[in-house]
Structure 1
Amino acid sequence: MPVFVKKLLTWGFVAFLIYFVAFRPDGAAQMFRAIGAALIAMFQGFGDFLTSLMT
């Protein structure tokens, strides 16, 4: 993918994120909570896997 397209998509995503947080803060907070919960569950599952390998 050309560098210009990557830059354009990155700045578009940043602009959308700022717009989303500014005009829909409740929705943005719920989305970040859901992402955080998914990451925690993923890492906890990975930790459980490693623990069961060691025992």
Structure 2
Amino acid sequence: MNRVKKILLWLLVAFAAYAIFTSPDQAAQIVKTSGSILADGVRNIGSFFDALLGR
């Protein structure tokens, strides 16, 4: 099982490198969008707990 995980990880790294080298602008946009989605999610969770605690 460990060997399968290692192979899948290398395939993922190879695909990411290929995506970055073939279209760096689009890859940068994907990373920027992903970071924005993550930040919004964390902010919304904070707002939820603030509302739950009545702050």
Q: Distance in 1 between matches of 2:50 and 2:31?
A: 28
**What is the TM-score when the length of structure 2 is the normalising length?**
0.88
CA RMSD of aligned residues (A): 0.8
Q: How many residues were matched structurally?
A: 54
Q: Distance in 1 between matches of 2:5 and 2:26?
A: 27
Name the structure 2 match of 1:26.
Answer: 25
Residue ranges of structure 1 left out of the alignment (5+ in a row): none
Q: Distance in 2 between matches of 1:40 and 1:51?
A: 17
Within 5 Å, which residues of 2 pair with 1:4-43? 4-43=3-42
Deviation at 1:33, TM superposition (A): 1.1
**What percent identity do the matched residue pairs reach?**
35
